[in-house]
Structure 1
Amino acid sequence: MLKRILMLDDNLDILDIVKEALLYEHFEVRITSDGDNIIQAILSYKPDLVMLDYKLNGNSGDDICRQLKAHHQLNNIPVVICSAYLNKNDLLACGCDAIITKPFGLEELVNTVNGLVYLEKSGSPESR
């Protein structure tokens, strides 16, 4: 069974590129730009990993991450935050499992996703 990835970003070009890259790596990928219904989308899709853009229209990725990590059914799902507005301390405080700085290369994306989906978690997000 393919591992499932759900990505939320308000930039459709980024969503398309990430989806194609992860499909090529044999993941099942669902993309969305709707941050308002993201918790329900995660509950119904049951992803193995969630990727969130930090700066969204409306909710921010760190707020959504906090909601996920506080949710009893979702708190074990690894969360990656992607951001061009990088303040690692603020992002790490939300409980994310990894941070990818925009713009990012596809190799970094794939390595981060594989590391969180297929390997046991060890250490802090900064150690990855």
Structure 2
Amino acid sequence: MFKKILAVDDDNDILDVIRIILEDEGYEVSTLTDGKKVFEYVNNDKPDLILLDVMLGGVDGRDICRALKSDAVYNQIPIIMISASHNMDSFLTMPGSPNDFLAKPFDINNLINTVKAQLAA
């Protein structure tokens, strides 16, 4: 059974790269450019993992992460935040924080290994 991954970023080029890399690893990857659609997607399709950008054109990915992590239905889904902002240390230790963080630009092997580690946890 394929593991389902949802990648959310407002940059289609980044989503394409993530999708290609992770599909090559055998994952089923869906993408969204609109952070406002994350809850609808998660409710309908129940991904095994979410890759979530911080800045989503008017929506803060950290708010989405906190909302998902505070909901008993969704809080078991691992979330890996992705951001060009490297100043995420304080957010990573707060309640509702993501399971892991990748800085953009990310290393392909680091992306693969981080996803595998979160899905194995």
Residues 6-55 of structure 1 deviation map (CA, whole Å, 9 limit, x = unaligned): 01000000000000000000001000101112111111111110010011
Give the secondary structure class of the aligned counterpart of 2:105: coil
Query: How far apart, CA to CA, are the structure 2 residues paired with 1:43 and 1:80?
Result: 18
Question: How do 1:12-23 and structure 2 match up within 5 A?
Answer: 12-23=12-23
Query: How far apart, CA to CA, are the structure 2 residues paired with 1:115 and 1:96?
Result: 14
Q: TM-score, structure 2 length as denominator?
A: 0.94
Q: Which amino acid aligns with 1:85?
A: S
Displacement after TM superposition at 1:91 (Å): 2.8
2:105 is the counterpart of 1:103: yes
Give the secondary structure class of the aligned counterpart of 1:36: helix
Instruction: Specify the alignment match of 2:46 in structure 1.
Output: 46
2:98 is the counterpart of 1:85: no
Backbone CA RMSD of aligned residues:
1.0
Query: How far apart, CA to CA, are the structure 2 residues paired with 1:21 and 1:34?
Result: 21
**Greater Cα offset, 6-15 or 82-91:** 82-91
Give the secondary structure class of the aligned counterpart of 1:57: coil
Question: How do 1:67-82 and structure 2 match up within 5 A?
Answer: 67-82=67-82
Q: Which amino acid aligns with 2:102?
A: I
**5+ residue gaps in structure 2?**
none
Q: Structure 1 residue runs of 4+, over 6 Å off?
A: none
**5+ residue gaps in structure 1?**
121-128
- 2:34·2:56 contact (CA, 8 Å) conserved in 1? no
**Greater Cα offset, 55-64 or 96-105:** 55-64
Query: How far apart, CA to CA, are the structure 2 residues paired with 1:35 and 1:56?
Result: 6
- 2:80·2:101 contact (CA, 8 Å) conserved in 1? yes
Q: Which amino acid aligns with 2:49?
A: L
Q: TM-score, structure 1 length as denominator?
A: 0.89
Q: Which amino acid aligns with 2:82?
A: C
Quick one: percent identity of the two aligned structures?
A: 38
